Every structure is written in structure tokens, then in C-alpha cells.
Amino acid sequence: MRILPSLFLVGGHSTGLSDQHDCNIYVVRGPDGLVMIDAGGGRDPDAIVAEMRQEGLDPEQVRWLLLTHHHADHASGAAAIKELTGCKVAISHQSAHLLERGTELDTRLDLAKRMGVYPDDFIWHNCPVDEQLHDGKIMRAAGIDVHVIEVEGHSLDSCCFHMRVDGRHCLFVGDVLQYGGLIGLINFPGSTLDGYRNALPKLRNLNVDGFFPGHSLFTVRDGQRHIDKALERLKSPFVPPTIGQQMWF
């Protein structure tokens, strides 16, 4: 699905483009190839590749897979994508060890299964990591400058990716935020409101046009207002609205 001339949505459960346990999977076309953001759960990588080909994208041109965090619906598909495309894989320095050699217990996939988030037969797949990401890093990927911004809150290792796409300031936020300024606070280890208080202000004054979360709606204009709404709500004495509570504005 083409979003902008150089930006595509190639997977995700909410659009039906791929498996029901996949997050939104984006591909950006750069001067020197393709960059994929997030990989889904790995249960049907062929659907992702098929969508790419439908849009005229060559999977073998994927140079980098950038993972926003290690949760299974975003990262467990990395091994399959790496095998299918030959790309390099990047994830936070805080969770690279989990992707490379972590178990179902280490990643707490076992807990997510008990909560009913994933079926019992969902498998965690390990994958070699080519680059460990740090806050403030500017990474050159397929000819695109990608600014890495670590924003704990949803998870300890969550990274946002800020880049220019077709002249627009675009921010890929994973599960840190959703459309409408919803934060990604969940009842899961590593997800904390203190993390949001400490780290979300890093996203202030970015002048974001395109706002691309890991689930649900995205927008190609006025994206900063979704960030600012979340920042405003953090000033309240009450817990801000979080995912699972639909409050569009």
C-alpha cells in the first residue's frame, strides 16, 4: 500500500496485509535501496514480500531492517526477513541480546501467551544483529539519514526513527504512541509511566509531518499534534489514556 511516493505499508494486522499478529510494517525507498521498519511476528513473511512486489518493490533491495523494540509482533519476524532479503538488522543496544539468543522466557513471550495476546503455537525466532542502536545516533541507511531517539515507556528498549521522506519530517514511533496521542503504557514488564515522563519530551519540537505508529491509524501531515497531545496529558494528575482506549481528536 503506497502512502507517499517513497513510503509504503507492506504488512500489518489492522489492514489485513499480513498475519493477525503483525504490527504495521513500513518500507521507505531511499537513494541506495530500501529500509524496512519492523518485521512483524514471522508467521507469514511471504505475505509481506508479496505486498512489496505488488507495489513494485524488490525485496532484495532492502538494505536495513530497523526494529523499534523487541516485542514479538515487531521483532520475531526479523530472522525471516533477513533470510528473504539479505538485509542487515538493527535494534536497541538494550535488547540486541534478546533478539540474538533470548528465549521465550527471556522475552516474556510466555507471559504474553498466558495473557492471551499470542496463541500457544507462536514461536520466538532469534536473529543476528548487525547494528546496536543508541540514543542520538544518526544512521545512514540506504542513503537516508535516520535519527534514533530512545523513548522508554512502552518498553525499556523502544526507539523512534526520525527521517525525511519526500520532503516531509516523518517519525516512526513503534508502540511508544498511537494516533490521537495515546501512550503505549501496558500491563507488562518494562512498561512504565516514569519512562514516559522521562523520555517522551525528547519528541517535543520535532515539527513532525508524518506520524507512523506500529498499530492502527497513521497520518502524513500535522503529526506533531499527536505527540503534543500525549505530552500535554502527561501533565495531568491522572494516568493518560493508553492503547486499548480509543480517544481520537
55-86 pLDDT tens trace: 999 999 999 999 999 999 999 999 999 999 99
Question: What's the average model confidence in pLDDT over 157-186?
Answer: 98
Q: Which of 49, 31, 30, 28 is nearest to 40 (CA)?
A: 49
Q: What CA–CA distance (Å, rounded) separates 31 from 61?
A: 11
Sheet holding 88-92, edge to edge: 2-4, 7-11, 25-30, 33-37, 62-66, 88-92, 131-133
Q: Residue 225: pLDDT above 70? A: yes
DSSP secondary-structure letter at 182?
E
169: left (phi over 0), alpha (psi -120 to 50) or beta: beta
| Distant-in-sequence, close-in-space partners of 91: CB < 8 Å, separation ≥ 6 | 66, 67, 69, 70, 75, 78, 99, 129, 132, 133, 157, 159
Say what the pLDDT of residue 246 is: 59
Q: Across all residues in the chain, what is the average pLDDT?
A: 96
Name 125's bridge partners: none
What's the angle, vertex CA 144, arms to CA 141 and CA 149, rounded to 5?
80
Say what the pLDDT of residue 248 is: 45
Q: Residue 165: pLDDT above 50? A: yes
Greatest C-alpha distance within the chain? 50
Question: Which cell goes with 22?
Answer: 503483525
Say what the pLDDT of residue 207 is: 97
Q: Which of 215, 238, 208 is nearest to 68 (CA)?
A: 215
To which CATH superfamily is domain 2-233 assigned?
Answer: Ribonuclease Z/Hydroxyacylglutathione hydrolase-like (3.60.15.10)
Question: What's the average model confidence in pLDDT over 4-19?
Answer: 97
pLDDT band at residue 244 using 50, 70 and 90 as cut-offs: confident
Q: What is the CA radius of gyration of the chain?
A: 17
Q: Residue 123: pLDDT above 50? A: yes
Q: For 138-152, what is each residue's pLDDT tens digit?
A: 999 999 999 999 999
Q: Residue 198: pLDDT above 50? A: yes
Question: What's the average model confidence in pLDDT over 211-217?
Answer: 97
Q: Which of 21-25, 154-158, 227-231, 237-241 has the lowest mean pLDDT?
A: 237-241
Say what the pLDDT of residue 249 is: 45
Name 88's bridge partners: 64
By percentage, how much of the chain surpasses pLDDT 90? 97
Question: What's the average model confidence in pLDDT over 214-218?
Answer: 96
pLDDT band at residue 221 using 50, 70 and 90 as cut-offs: very high
Q: What CA–CA distance (Å, rounded) separates 65 from 36?
A: 5
Question: What's the average model confidence in pLDDT over 33-51?
Answer: 98
Name 168's bridge partners: 165
For CA atoms 207, 176, 10, 107, give the dihedral sign. Answer: positive
Pairing of strands 88-92, 131-133: parallel
| Distant-in-sequence, close-in-space partners of 83: CB < 8 Å, separation ≥ 6 | none
End-to-end CA distance of the chain: 25
